[in-house]
Structure 1
């Protein structure tokens, strides 16, 4: 092995990469690898991860084997290394046989300092790896190995055999985003439990963080682009169809734009990526398939048309802007319809509970009332005390009050629950809820039981979420979402650190709140009437059925399911079985009656995505035609809601309608189409075919 004395790392840094100094953490990571030690490096996008294995590869004897997930990324990296005078190659299934054989020959002859290979192609090299000198293994985008990660890739799981096969060769795993659960999983999966973990700061202070309501997204984007002409940017959407529609809209408004998604051919995707990299297409509208490993420094903005499914993905995607350190804008559009859609994606998966918890945390970030950068960094375990001044909340802050006492009560409850319970239980203990879950665990004997019973449940929940976003509390998603105290929480508890909480209600909202209070009073009255009726049937006093406190908890929490009803204070197993259905019927009817001020198209949409009614059932329940219901779905899609119409109409049927449209010369009414198809295609399907 050539020693680092012969190849001082600063000389290599300057000679091959042209830099005079290292970025934070790089030198320490490189020295750890050169000392033959296993390493896990968590560094933000643009933080210089690649150098952490490329420079050791130059300093050590042999060839570094780099496992990388994307062919385009490998090609870019190899091209950049060759431009710096470094012998490198990549090996994957897309190459001609002759090219593969030449690369293997170069590898056997010791002519390569780095070889990039996809995890799927690694087994093809097994026969040769044992016969060559390997300097190190580098696993790029290492979060792909973890089922806790946001980009799980099954082929990565076979990499655990590397350490068994080559126990003495140092291994470095690198990623831009990994929470604590993912970091632990990476170490376990790669069988490097003693690896030294380096975590660089996740702060990208040049990124402006902005979250906006999801109404009129297209107009908001066009207004934004008017102020940012000739700048490079990426817009992320949830579905392929959304990318194509939005790209078409932007193109029609004079912007050079292309859509990028997994439905394109490999050649098409490569060409679009090249067009973006060389600035011939400045705007890409893409699904999350786009951007991993793209080293384009002049991306000036990233927009999320829909809310991402977790903060990990969101952070990685916004990190593709401003990599040159200059100011960059990020906009996240947030709507509850996106939340519903993402919940549907998660349901039924092996990690459903975990994914839904992460989605809820993403939603809490979007609804934050305190500095967004604090919330973002706190999620990754990095806790800052000062507001950033470069997010929408810091620019136009809400009104705050001294919430130190509330914060102390919440932190105290978390501590007395030994940091083992999730948010719901912490709130129940603080509110003094007398439900079965609390009593089964004996939590009614805790000193903090009922310490915040004067604060309404939902208000207390929102304050706790603010404490999460401020980095006072943190969540372990992989351990049933239990809450833990951060170092900042200990300052709140023991060093009288002040905490500011945002007012939940602005003055202008008071009339609406009064209306809600009246409606809640109506619900309480209905619950008391039902309780009286049930009590008379068994000839017992009303409190034997439920106490007033239990009815108040029902009025406040408004449970819609048996599971939610079980969490009501005073509801044990026996009363759940005996009374849940009767009370839920009253509560659900009451809540449904409050929807009268919701637009009719939104009402139909909610019944479909939230309550799982079919279009026919919605039509029957609402007294509408089925055609009207599909018209409502189209209206919601036009307003920016993501919607998968393929569940109702096939691409062949769409083509049939389009063909009829040309034949019939675009008649205004639907009846000519209906007659054209001899009544075999219903009106609603014709309407969808014309829209899509």
Structure 2
């Protein structure tokens, strides 16, 4: 490992490995196949990039998205690693093949679809492969939340090279999915390394939807830096982007229906920006590795806890404080259950379990982080101190009786009407429709008043989240499988009433301000970074992260040798940018 540490410092500018990186690299260099489960931002790519520079031959990296490959390619080349992509959009494919055959590549990125072709197999046979790295490895498992059939075709290719180690990497895999990945990719059981799932720098918050645009606009106003807003439809991304532009922050929309040139430009603008908000469908984010995203907002329910963890994990990859805020509504659960009903029968039980787990996360009065970590098999403490429930505990109120009244009203009105009509019946509000239907003669008409009245809407939302109520195709409510136990008094219903949210001052939502101490040298270094990034045609973070600039501003190195001791300044970046940053520092002497 001495050689590995020397390489780590020379190429990446780090003095030591983080977390389990060292264990993974050690196994790879020893020729042992490994599945590494590491949280987003833990430095998964380094575990194959570093060995690729030390081993004889090329590391073949299987990655699911072209945009992600190109982003990783930029980052690898920035530190001096010889890398290339072989994708359908690359114009230099012949050159890349030649570089591979001549042994001039440390890394070759490909998509799983290409990896299984006979043409690619023949290319590999003519070159030298040192390592197979399978990124986003949960895509190989039908139990995973993002199953990709083409990942299932990798095993025959891997088996053609029994002496070449395999490194599978993922941030989101529960115990069942991990076992399936090991089996599908032919990695031994003792090759599993789990780093843990905690992202302590992310502040988790979940709120019922109540004017989503205003809620997200408030979050944007409070949180400086780039952000991602996930909407559930293509039209929703465009509508939100237009509305949120009124906050004064630059905004863009991103979805598969946009003109390819527009979509590519919007993504490039976001990647290069230090304050832009992009409104996107959930596929966005897998294709980038932008480390300085300060917040992720969900304008609706994600597919599962695994998906939520992965999507929120796109915030704060640089380790600085960040925010993940989910806004949900009862109709989200209705739509989700409809999706479950449409998947293959053999997958429905697993999807229902995922939805139930997600309901537990949004309804809990306890620590959000603890619910997340327990889902992935960890045993966290009861309080994390960095989620909405820990920082501002919600009030739980007994609501079994009002829940039974609501269910009774749904039943007695024929399971045909929506929340608003049922609410009016319970409150005793007369209308032409209630008179025509004869519902004013029902025993449930007007049985709710006083303080209970304010609980009707939250109860309706909770009953839908618990699958005690479902929305029919016409918007009416009907009983779900959990209704009977509540009506019979076998299950209690406790409502989570979030505390009143006080508007915070700008920059106080939990995400870090880039320059918390107001150091003018730091701002000057950022300006120098912007100029160099524009000149080089790369995003600013590819040059240096904010944390590196903060250390420069604090230490104020006066020589290249002193600058090289700043964490994150490797040899290639020292040569390329060292004098430029030193000249800026000297201006403040």
Is 1:286 aligned to 2:280, yes or no? yes
Is 1:326 aligned to 2:320, yes or no? yes
Match of 2:123 in 1: 128
Match of 1:374 in 2: 370
Match of 1:110 in 2: 103
Give 1:357's match in structure 2, choosing from 353, 357, 361.
Answer: 353
User: In 2 relative to 1, CA 595–249 (structure 1 residues): closer, same or farther, beyond 3 Å?
Assistant: farther
Distance in 1 between residues matched to 2:372 and 2:296, nearest whole Å: 16
User: In 2 relative to 1, CA 355–131 (structure 1 residues): closer, same or farther, beyond 3 Å?
Assistant: same
**Alpha carbons 2:409, 2:444 under 8 Å: kept:** no
Give 1:66's match in structure 2, choosing from 61, 75, 78.
Answer: 61
User: In 2 relative to 1, CA 522–265 (structure 1 residues): closer, same or farther, beyond 3 Å?
Assistant: closer
Distance in 2 between residues matched to 1:23 and 1:275, nearest whole Å: 31
**Alpha carbons 1:64, 1:113 under 8 Å: kept:** yes
Larger Rg: 1
Helix, strand or coil at the partner of 1:299:
coil
Q: How does 1:203-352 map to 2 (within 5 A)?
A: 203-228=198-223, 230-279=224-273, 282-350=276-344, 351-352=347-348
Number of aligned residues:
434
Match of 1:434 in 2: none
Match of 2:380 in 1: 384
Q: How does 1:599-610 map to 2 (within 5 A)?
A: 610=470
Helix, strand or coil at the partner of 1:120:
helix
Give 1:42's match in structure 2, choosing from 37, 42, 47.
Answer: 37
Helix, strand or coil at the partner of 1:284:
strand
Shift in Å, 1:54: 0.9
Q: How does 1:28-177 map to 2 (within 5 A)?
A: 28-96=23-91, 99-122=92-115, 123=117, 124-177=119-172
| Cα deviation code 1:348-405 (max 9, x no counterpart) | 2121221121011111100011111111111111111241011111122257xxxxxx
| Cα deviation code 1:115-140 (max 9, x no counterpart) | 11111122231112112221010000
Q: How does 1:392-411 map to 2 (within 5 A)?
A: 392-398=388-394
**Alpha carbons 1:258, 1:281 under 8 Å: kept:** no
User: In 2 relative to 1, CA 210–88 (structure 1 residues): closer, same or farther, beyond 3 Å?
Assistant: same
Shift in Å, 1:145: 1.1
Distance in 1 between residues matched to 2:177 and 2:409, nearest whole Å: 48
Shift in Å, 1:95: 1.9
User: In 2 relative to 1, CA 371–85 (structure 1 residues): closer, same or farther, beyond 3 Å?
Assistant: same
Helix, strand or coil at the partner of 2:294:
strand
Distance in 2 between residues matched to 1:172 and 1:293, nearest whole Å: 20
Deviates more, 1:201-210 or 1:589-598: 589-598
Helix, strand or coil at the partner of 1:329:
strand
Match of 1:458 in 2: none
After TM superposition, the runs of 4+ consecutive aligned structure 1 residues lying more than 4 A away are 513-524, 589-599
Distance in 2 between residues matched to 1:284 and 1:365, nearest whole Å: 26
Helix, strand or coil at the partner of 1:130:
helix
Q: How does 1:514-593 map to 2 (within 5 A)?
A: none
Shift in Å, 1:109: 1.0
Helix, strand or coil at the partner of 2:90:
coil
Shift in Å, 1:269: 2.5
**Alpha carbons 1:40, 1:195 under 8 Å: kept:** no
| Cα deviation code 1:471-509 (max 9, x no counterpart) | xxxxxxxxxxxxxxxxxxxxxxxxxxxxxxxxx525xx6
Match of 2:567 in 1: none
Shift in Å, 1:37: 0.8
**Alpha carbons 2:66, 2:287 under 8 Å: kept:** no
User: In 2 relative to 1, CA 516–29 (structure 1 residues): closer, same or farther, beyond 3 Å?
Assistant: closer
Deviates more, 1:262-271 or 1:230-239: 262-271
What do you get for the CA RMSD once the two structures are aligned? 3.2
User: In 2 relative to 1, CA 356–133 (structure 1 residues): closer, same or farther, beyond 3 Å?
Assistant: same
**Alpha carbons 2:340, 2:348 under 8 Å: kept:** yes
Relative CO higher for 1 or 2, CA cutoff 8 Å, sep ≥ 6? 2
TM-score, scaled to structure 1: 0.58
Distance in 1 between residues matched to 2:131 and 2:267, nearest whole Å: 30
**Alpha carbons 1:14, 1:20 under 8 Å: kept:** yes
Helix, strand or coil at the partner of 1:231:
coil
Shift in Å, 1:523: 11
Is 1:9 aligned to 2:21, yes or no? no
Give 1:184's match in structure 2, choosing from 159, 166, 179.
Answer: 179
Helix, strand or coil at the partner of 2:113:
coil
